[in-house]
């Protein structure tokens, strides 16, 4: 199955169509992700970049029931594209009939002003709209692209109060174009009530269309959302299940913001100095690089970066300020990442943090039935967690080190990006 994005009728069925690489189509096709009963089957799907209708062209040599039946393709395609899936004539007509689909939303939205940098596309504009009326109709057309391109995505409930959408668009390059605007990408965000009288801004979905990826449009959407949160004094900004790449972009943006945030500099300098002057290779207790609690609150209040995200950026900023050639310093940093990860997974330096695992009488499978309870530190140590064998501990240590190595690579990757984009800020 191949999927293409067509910007005009002439691209439909031609080599000029932009191919889309779906994240994973298998889960749409039954439990085993397979299609049965066809010889030389080809499925080509075109999605209009104007109306976001879809048209599927299916061809095959023959069908035969080989014992597992013949897969009915129509309900599978409708499960992906819904009512957007139309016949070819209607699909082609929609390029002209529904050419105002994007324009109707843009003209009714509010343009967000931004400070453009040298790397930005100056022709791109970000428009903010409530997710209702024409905007809700446009979103319903975009759902199929979200399902195809975003791992584990599901449509949002646009009938729920508090949804809005940010569109990044630019005017059509050709005067002959049926649509005044090209849609480059969008983000769906939700306003959550936060007790007693505040609002959290949660990013539920963010997508840049394949032809425009790698041009910084996703970064512009995230920066616009941060700007909204600050200007409207929201509690903080969160992201629902971000992909690895989205988290990479988000952390890069937030680290760049934090580099020029004066309140962070004394504590950051002190932590870097501590790692340079100590030796954690023979530590007798866990060492973690936690910032002062009041600093995390200041960052949340001023920059709207939530605590979990700030702690992630804090480690990246520390690494960024370390001398990469000072092996003792880097080893100290890794030791802190190791202790923090071990604490998160196993409950701290003790390995249990008061958590107990006990077998319980049950009418179910005894091997999979147990209870976990927690006691305050210093409680009765009898009947402690089920003892692990040496080979289990060795495997656990190996897996833990592998996880730490992966985190070190992720931190280094973001730090490298921040260093290349924020040389002037680091110099300051």
Catalytic residues: 240
In 3-state terms, the chain is what percent helix, strand and coil (to 5)?
45, 20, 35
Residue 37 gets the label, from left (phi > 0), alpha (psi -120 to 50) or beta, of left
Q: Residues 6 or more apart from 383 whose CB is under 8 A from it?
A: 356, 358
Decide if 127 contacts 171 (C-beta within 8 A): no
- Closest by CA to 130, choosing from 165, 85, 156, is 165
Beta-strand relationship, 2-6 and 42-48: parallel
């Amino acid at each position: 199955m191949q999927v293409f994005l067509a910007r005009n009728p002439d691209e439909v069925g031609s080599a000029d169509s932009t191919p889309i690489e779906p994240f994973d189509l298998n889960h749409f096709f039954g439990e085993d992700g397979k299609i049965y009963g066809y010889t030389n089957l080809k499925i080509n799907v075109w999605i209009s970049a104007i109306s976001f209708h879809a048209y599927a062209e299916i061809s095959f040599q023959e069908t035969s029931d080989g014992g597992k039946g013949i897969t009915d393709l129509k309900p599978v395609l409708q499960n992906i594209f819904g009512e957007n899936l139309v016949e070819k004539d209607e699909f082609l007509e929609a390029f002209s009939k529904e050419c105002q689909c994007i324009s109707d939303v843009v003209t009714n939205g509010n343009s967000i002003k931004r400070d453009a940098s040298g790397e930005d596309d100056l022709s791109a504009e970000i428009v903010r709209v409530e997710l209702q009326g024409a905007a809700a109709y446009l979103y319903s057309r975009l759902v199929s692209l979200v399902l195809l391109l975003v791992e584990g995505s599901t449509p949002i409930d646009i009938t729920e109060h508090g949804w809005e959408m940010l569109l990044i668009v630019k005017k059509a390059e050709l005067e002959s174009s049926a649509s005044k605007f090209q849609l480059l990408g969008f983000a769906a965000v939700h306003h959550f009530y936060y007790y007693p009288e505040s609002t959290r801004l949660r990013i539920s979905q963010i997508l840049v269309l394949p032809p425009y990826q790698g041009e910084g449009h996703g970064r512009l959407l995230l920066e616009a959302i941060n700007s909204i949160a600050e200007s409207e004094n929201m509690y903080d900004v969160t992201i629902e299940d971000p992909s690895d790449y989205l988290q990479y972009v988000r952390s890069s943006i937030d680290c760049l913001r934090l580099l020029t945030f004066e309140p962070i500099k004394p504590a950051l300098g002190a932590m870097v100095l501590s790692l340079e002057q100590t030796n954690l290779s023979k530590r007798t207790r866990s060492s973690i690089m936690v910032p002062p609690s009041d600093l995390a609150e200041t960052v949340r209040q001023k920059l709207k970066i939530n605590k979990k995200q700030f702690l992630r950026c804090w480690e990246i900023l520390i690494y960024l300020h370390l001398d990469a050639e000072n092996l003792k310093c880097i080893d100290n940093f890794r030791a802190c990442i190791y202790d923090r990860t071990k604490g998160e997974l196993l409950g701290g330096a003790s390995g249990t943090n008061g958590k107990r695992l006990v077998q319980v009488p049950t009418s179910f499978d005894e091997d999979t039935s147990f209870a976990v309870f927690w006691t305050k530190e210093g409680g009765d140590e009898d009947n402690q967690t089920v003892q692990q064998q040496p080979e289990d501990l060795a495997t656990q240590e190996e897996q833990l080190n592998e996880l730490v190595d992966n985190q070190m690579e992720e931190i280094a990757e973001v730090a490298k990006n921040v260093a290349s984009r924020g040389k002037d800020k680091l110099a300051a």
